[in-house]
Amino acid sequence: MKTLSPSFVSLAAITLTPLVLAGGETHAWSELDTAPSAPKTAFDNWSVSYKDGLKVSNADGSNSIKIGGRLMYDMGWQAGEDKAVGEQVEFRRARLFVKGQLNGNVSYKVNYDFAVSGSPVALKDMYMQFDDLQGIRVGRFKEYNSINNLTSSKYITMIERAGIVNAISPGRGSGAGKLWEIDENTTAALGLFKATSNGFSEDAGEWSVTGRLTHLFADTLHLGGSASARGGSESDVSTRPGHHMDGSVTLSDDGRAQDSSLYGLETVWLNGPFSLQAEYISQAFDSANEAKVSGYYITASWFTTGEHRPYDKSNGSFSRVVPSGNGGACELTARMDHSDGEDTNTVEVDDLIFGINWYTGRNSRIMLNYVMADINDSGTKTGYDALLLRFQVDF
């Protein structure tokens, strides 16, 4: 049996190609060249864009997916009365997120942190929000408490949040909640949350109810309040004075799970490049020794280059600073911070922090903080000074 030569096969392929392309009908090559193109598919209406993350979406935005993250690298030097001169470095945050829309009526977000000591990865946010259920959000997300807590770490004024916020603000919980925009300047929020380990049910705590109310007067004065009834809260409470790399200070050490009540008051004054922000937060535990932790902070900010802190009216917090000039934006900051705990002993922690933030672009900044911390543990007084430097990008 004879086999076909390669040249014959090539010639046959060239000859039959017009028939295949024309559906079996004979056409001149010129007719095939001008034949109508294939009809568009649904994917032809999708687009790819970049702004604070890579986004893929359809024409009307009803379906989308956005991918991004943040990196924060800290360097610190400290010395004090009971501390040797030392230095540390750490990736404070290394996060990746995915968020988007489904069918125009469901939004979602998943956010992981890869810079958690003792764990390869930590779940920060994982939630879904259903517009058909009046915008109810379910999953793991921040509880409705404290403007300092609810403002993203990308936009907070100092390298670390205030000591009392780190100590007793609930942070993230797993459950369900709803945020109402009552009008252009007023928000209300209420949620039911369960304390979980890394977002999952192992070693889960009791249920808690948390709510918050805010109002912005004349685009100048923010007032807000929050409250939380917490079940089975650990009354072993600690804080870090001014920065994250040093060891913590225990404010209350009862150690047993107790019901507790928490409330907070918050205010911000905005005047162009100037702002003042303050909060008072207190948590009382239903324990035999009536343990209580409370504190406050006052933060001042001034943009020497004329920018301002953008206020997000949709949730009563702050958002991204965008430099107005090519040289970036410069912000001078100061914060006075006090925390105290009472059980069988009394512990007081005071910080005074001065800082400067250089916003080198929309998605990057460099932060410098000088911390002066004083600690009074039942009459035993210690203290230290620290110099902190942060390099930050988000993408």
Tens-place pLDDT, residues 162-204: 999 999 999 999 999 999 999 999 999 999 999 876 666 555 6
Give the pLDDT of residue 133: 95
* Average pLDDT of the chain to the nearest whole number: 87
Q: How confident is the model at residue 81 (pLDDT cuts 50, 70, 90)?
A: confident
Q: Which two tokens stand for residue 30?
A: 């010129």
pLDDT band at 59 (very low <50, low <70, confident <90, very high): very high
Whole-number pLDDT of residue 253: 80
| Exposed / middle / buried, residue 320 (Cβ in 10 Å: 0-12, 13-18, 19+) | middle
Domain 70-91+144-394, CATH homologous superfamily name and number:
Porin (2.40.160.10)
Nearest to 190 by CA among 128, 145, 132: 145
Residue 192 to residue 354: CA distance in whole angstroms: 37
**Residue 387: pLDDT band with limits 50, 70, 90:** very high
More confident residue, 25 or 328: 328
Q: Tokens 């410069």 map to which residue?
A: 330
Q: Is pLDDT larger for residue 43 or for residue 202?
A: 43
Mean pLDDT, residues 236-264: 83
What pLDDT sits at residue 129? 98
Is the per-residue pLDDT at 346 higher than 70?
yes
- Whole-model pTM: value is 0.86
Mean pLDDT, rounded, for 62-66 = 97
Least confident of 21-35, 75-89, 222-236, 273-287: 21-35
- 250 near 237, Cβ under 8 Å? yes
> Which letter, b or e, does each residue of 203-241 get, where b requires 16 or more Cβ atoms within 10 Å of its Cβ?
eebeebbbbbbbbbeeeeebebebebebbbbbbebbbbb
Amino acid found at 217: F
Contact 111, 124 (CB under 8 A): yes
User: Which has the minimum average pLDDT: 130-144, 186-200, 262-276?
Assistant: 186-200
Mean pLDDT of 142-165: 98
> How high is the pLDDT of residue 21?
37
How is the chain split into domains, by residue range? 1-36, 70-91+144-394
Task: Say how far apart CA 84 and CA 276 lie, in whole Å.
Answer: 35
